[in-house]
Structure 1
Amino acid sequence: MEFIQLYNQNKDKLTKSENKLANYIAAHTEHVIYDTIKSLGKATNTGDATIVRLCKKLGYSGFSDLKIALAQDSMMTTSKGHDETQTTPQLSSKVLISSIEKTEELISHPVLTEAANLLAQAKRIHIFGVGHSGESARDYERTWLRIGLIANAESDPHIQVQVATLLNKDDVVVGLSLSGHTKDTYDSLKVAKEYGAKILAITNDLISPIALLGDVSLQTAVSEFMNIGTVAGQVSQLYLCDVLAREYEKMNKVDVDKIKERALTEVMKKSI
């Protein structure tokens, strides 16, 4: 049963502070899904005991159970929104086009310029991501190579930490995480920051722990909790990869044709 239904059925049994908390959860579902009990308490100025009591009164075993239910509610709402008259190709293209359009709407041009400047001034660039974000990191590495921007993608958290300890103020680490709450990525970025590296965070949630580590943060538009492993999430990340490449190219007056010509000459030698 949806959270709002359970709340409406039980609100007369709730205290004033529990009603206030429930109203916050209903209005901020996407954020609450990623919250810890501590961060939710801080956001609502309520104690752990109040949060646990609300969960119990609404029939949940605890806060984790509530978050899972909220995610399931969100997924059901999303699936109901599909137009059954559309073909499978139409549905897929609609989702992917929407992920790009929504990401574009979130781009602040001053922030984009700041991000491209960060890359242009870096002595070394590393890209950290795990899981599907780790795959996106590899795509960033290859895409940026085509404009003469050399970056190293790393998806192994243990290697990330080793790399992080070798960085300094002249280096930049790009952190990819749709949720902004990926612990391995956060830990690696935190070490890099402690050693002086600048952080460019690319995440769906600008108030997430990873985004808050960023010297500059860009926002994707596809929530990971409800879209784990989806193409739409990666498309949102890769769209920003291309946008950053084009902004860097324009800012530094990169002769992309010359770079491509030189690379093609050498690649052709690989033919037999």
Structure 2
Amino acid sequence: MFTNEEIASFNELDMTLYNYITQHADKVAYMRIRELADETHVSTATILRFCRKIGCEGFSEFKVKLKLYVENNEKSVIKTGEQSITEFFERTLSGNLSEIIKQAAALVAKADTVIFIGIGSSGILAEYGARYFSSLGKFSMYIKDPHFPIHSNILHNSVTIALSVSGENPYTVNHIHQLNQEGSKVISITNSKHSTIAKISHLNIPYYVTEERFEGSNITTQIPVVYILEILARETYNLR
């Protein structure tokens, strides 16, 4: 609604209006100019000057823009995620996910070192995965810096487990390329087997749930990832 340049040009009275409007946008959108003046203790002339500073001819045009802003930024209804999770477990029981996990476990069991990578919420789960595998006796580490120095004797006979919902995160893609070049076998856990990360991995474990976003953030459920990590760790332990 307000640009950084516009805010920088505001004087003290403008800031009074700005603070009131941002805190009561849904209310101001239906106020008369005199009502806003009374609420903010400024003159109607100050309000009109404020409107012109933000590119509006008058208060009526400002209210139209404010109404559109409020409508576009109303909070979305967040799904419970129960349907996505239920569908995932139904596919797990009827599909070949367990077979893919067994193939991945065979690779991990033969490796001397397991390296987990990921960004954002995937990074948090990568760290959890490293801890969970280590708890079951498989030496694992979580690395979030692609330039973190790792000696070749550690990368020799290692497996990298890369986590990414979209499978397109450029940071993780570059990290995988570097680890691939060093000879580490890559197992990726992504929401789709058709993603870039899935394609450059030695083995991909896709889980296919409905991807959800809220105000620019990816809020896709990570329950399938936790399930896959724990089952994979247990399968690895049993093979060892």
Matched, 1:240 2:228: yes
Residue 102 of structure 2 corresponds to 113
Matching residue within 129, 147, 151 for 1:161: 147
Matched, 1:130 2:119: yes
Question: Between the two proteins, what is the percent identity of the paired residues?
Answer: 22
Q: Distance in 2 between matches of 1:201 and 1:215?
A: 8
Whether contact under 8 Å (2:212, 2:218) holds in the other structure is no
* Alignment size in residue pairs: 162
Structure 1 164/98 Cα, relative in aligned 2: closer, same or farther at 3 Å?
A: farther
Structure 1 137/106 Cα, relative in aligned 2: closer, same or farther at 3 Å?
A: farther
Q: Distance in 2 between matches of 1:109 and 1:99?
A: 13
Residue 57 of structure 2 corresponds to none
Letter in 1 for 2:147: V
Q: Distance in 2 between matches of 1:163 and 1:190?
A: 15
Q: Distance in 1 between matches of 2:85 and 2:100?
A: 24
Q: Distance in 2 between matches of 1:192 and 1:163?
A: 12
What residue ranges of structure 2 are gaps of 5+ in the alignment?
Answer: 1-75
SS in 1 for 2:139: coil
CA deviation after TM superposition for structure 1 residue 180, in Å: 0.7
Structure 1 178/216 Cα, relative in aligned 2: closer, same or farther at 3 Å?
A: same
Whether contact under 8 Å (1:178, 1:223) holds in the other structure is no
Structure 1 250/236 Cα, relative in aligned 2: closer, same or farther at 3 Å?
A: same
Matched, 1:176 2:163: yes
Residue 249 of structure 1 corresponds to 237
Q: Distance in 2 between matches of 1:115 and 1:201?
A: 10
Letter in 1 for 2:126: A
Structure 1 123/99 Cα, relative in aligned 2: closer, same or farther at 3 Å?
A: same
Residue 139 of structure 2 corresponds to 150
Q: Distance in 2 between matches of 1:164 and 1:209?
A: 24
Whether contact under 8 Å (1:117, 1:248) holds in the other structure is yes
Matching residue within 186, 202, 205 for 2:173: 186
SS in 2 for 1:113: helix
Residue 186 of structure 2 corresponds to 199
Structure 1 123/153 Cα, relative in aligned 2: closer, same or farther at 3 Å?
A: same
Letter in 2 for 1:181: E
Instruction: Map 1:84-99 onto structure 2 (within 5 A).
Output: 91=80, 93-99=82-88
SS in 1 for 2:166: coil
CA deviation after TM superposition for structure 1 residue 147, in Å: 1.3
Q: Distance in 1 between matches of 2:88 and 2:99?
A: 22
Matching residue within 202, 226, 230 for 2:219: 230
Whether contact under 8 Å (1:103, 1:236) holds in the other structure is no
Structure with max Cα Rg: 2
Q: CA RMSD in A?
A: 2.8
Whether contact under 8 Å (1:179, 1:225) holds in the other structure is no
Segments ≥4 residues shifted beyond 6 Å: none
Whether contact under 8 Å (2:129, 2:229) holds in the other structure is yes
Letter in 2 for 1:145: S
Q: Distance in 2 between matches of 1:111 and 1:92?
A: 25
Whether contact under 8 Å (2:107, 2:159) holds in the other structure is yes
More helix by share: 1
